[in-house]
């Protein structure tokens, strides 16, 4: 098509439709969008607006962490060192792998390979479930060590760490109580993250079912692409949770 | 339907063509993310004093930017999308900075 002519001579809708025949007209192409590129951009824009609300939402939790870490630094150091770096690092790698397969899934939808798309969505789901499994192991360990804030929370090992074989600085009883603030934020932040993943895995089952029916094999990739944005955003939240909760209070030799 | 129609987006070229990122690029990003995960774990065991959190957050931010640019396709999106993403993080930064500057400048214990 001669773009210069189209640009200088706006035409009626009839000729526009005729000129548009080189585009694939999909049943998903809504009539209120001029082109499928515009529809696609509108979908991406809308998804990002939603993710901005998520940035603010998780941002509030991160801000609470920043403030309380400032207030109760010693309690945060000791309780942070109770988390398992091997489990946290393994989970980070598992989540990155899940995100990698999600990205490949978007690619498979774009090049219209149905079998690969279904395979990659299943692999994304698998690694997402593996992440939650390890998270469950970690939560169970917190339960056993009485590190869940509330009536059964046990501060004695933070007041007298030597008796428990911990190489930590003993905390005064009032500061030891503040380890509950760390564990509260730990459960609030990782719990909200896990909740997003549970929702995401539910959506993945639905998308895999639809992909298997061939719904995303005709050039219509918006649901896959926008779910990919959601899944990667949840990955990014974990990329910050891991260093903040697990890593930054370690000292050499501990 | 409006009189005006621009099916090939000549007037507004910001509606860019759909760019497909290859699996090779995704593979490079994947390996980069895993390598930097290893680096951040290693850095946690090195005593850098007050710079431990700084290094950890710098690495996390780098990984996040890589994910946003490639896994989330923002590098290949229109200016509208790029500005939308940037404004979100910028607004969050403003909110944190303003709240923290209020917090640290209070006369704690003096009223």
Per-residue pLDDT tens for A89-121? 999 999 999 999 999 999 999 999 999 999 999
User: How far apart, in whole angstroms, are the C-alpha atoms of residue A80 and residue A164?
Assistant: 16
Give the nearest partner residue to A248 out of B30, B56, B68, using CB atoms: B56
> Where is pLDDT greater, at B81 or B110?
B81
What's the pTM? Answer: 0.85
Instruction: Spell out the alpha helix ranges (H) of B1-111.
Output: 23-44, 51-66, 79-104
| B54 near A CB under 8 A | no
What's the whole-number mean pLDDT along residues A158-180?
A: 90
Residue B7 three-state SS: coil
Interface predicted TM-score of the whole assembly (ipTM), two decimals: 0.84
pLDDT confidence of residue B74: 92
Q: Residue A35 and residue B56: Cβ atoms within 8 Å?
A: no
Chain A residue with Cα closest to B16? A37
| A95 near B CB under 8 A | no
Q: For a pLDDT cut of 70, what percent of chain A falls above it?
A: 88
Is the model's pLDDT at B16 over the cut of 60?
no
* A162-165 contact pairs (CB < 8 A, 24+): none
Q: Residue B44 and residue A41: Cβ atoms within 8 Å?
A: no
pLDDT confidence of residue B17: 62
Least confident residue range of A6-15, A58-67, B20-29, B68-77: A6-15
- Return the closest-CA partner of residue A37 out of B1, B81, B2: B81
Look over chain A and give the mean of its residue pLDDT values, rounded to a whole number.
88
Residues of B in contact with A252 (CB under 8 A): 45-47
Is the model's pLDDT at A253 over the cut of 50?
no
CATH of domain A36-247: 1.20.120.80
- Confidence bin at A135 (pLDDT 50/70/90): very high
CA A142 to chain CA mean position, Å: 23
Residues of B in contact with A119 (CB under 8 A): none
Least confident residue range of A112-126, A155-169, A232-246: A155-169
């Amino acid at each position: 098509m001669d773009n210069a002519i189209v640009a200088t001579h706006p035409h009626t809708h009839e000729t526009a439709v005729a000129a548009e025949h080189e585009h694939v007209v999909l049943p998903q192409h809504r009539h209120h969008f001029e082109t499928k590129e515009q529809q696609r951009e509108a979908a991406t824009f809308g998804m990002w607006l939603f993710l901005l609300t998520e940035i603010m939402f998780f941002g509030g939790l991160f801000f609470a962490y920043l403030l309380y870490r400032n207030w109760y630094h010693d309690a945060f150091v000791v309780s942070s060192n109770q988390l398992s770096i091997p489990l946290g690092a393994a989970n980070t790698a598992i989540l990155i792998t899940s995100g990698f397969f999600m990205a490949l899934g978007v690619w498979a939808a774009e090049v219209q390979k149905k079998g690969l798309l279904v395979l990659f969505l299943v692999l994304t789901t698998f690694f997402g479930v593996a992440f939650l499994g390890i998270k469950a192991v970690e939560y169970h360990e917190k339960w056993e060590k009485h590190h869940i804030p509330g009536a059964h929370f046990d501060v004695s090992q933070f007041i007298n760490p030597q008796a428990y074989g911990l190489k930590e600085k003993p905390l005064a009883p009032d500061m030891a109580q503040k380890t509950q603030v760390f564990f509260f934020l730990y459960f609030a932040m990782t719990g909200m993250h896990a909740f997003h993943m549970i929702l995401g895995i539910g959506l993945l089952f639905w998308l895999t079912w639809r992909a298997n029916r061939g719904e995303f094999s005709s050039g219509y990739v918006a649901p896959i692409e926008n779910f990919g944005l959601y899944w990667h955003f949840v990955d990014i939240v974990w990329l910050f949770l891991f260093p903040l909760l697990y890593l930054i209070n370690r000292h050499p030799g501990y | 339907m409006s009189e005006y129609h621009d099916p090939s987006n000549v007037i507004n070229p910001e509606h860019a063509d759909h760019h497909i990122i290859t699996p090779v690029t995704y593979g490079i990003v994947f390996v980069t993310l895993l390598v930097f995960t290893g680096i951040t774990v290693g850095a946690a065991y090195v005593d850098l004093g007050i710079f431990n959190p700084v290094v950890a957050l710098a690495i996390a931010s780098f990984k996040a930017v890589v994910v946003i640019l490639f896994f989330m396709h923002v590098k290949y999106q229109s200016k509208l999308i790029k500005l939308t993403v940037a404004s979100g993080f910028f607004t969050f930064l403003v909110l944190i900075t303003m709240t923290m500057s209020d917090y640290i400048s209070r006369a704690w214990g003096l009223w």
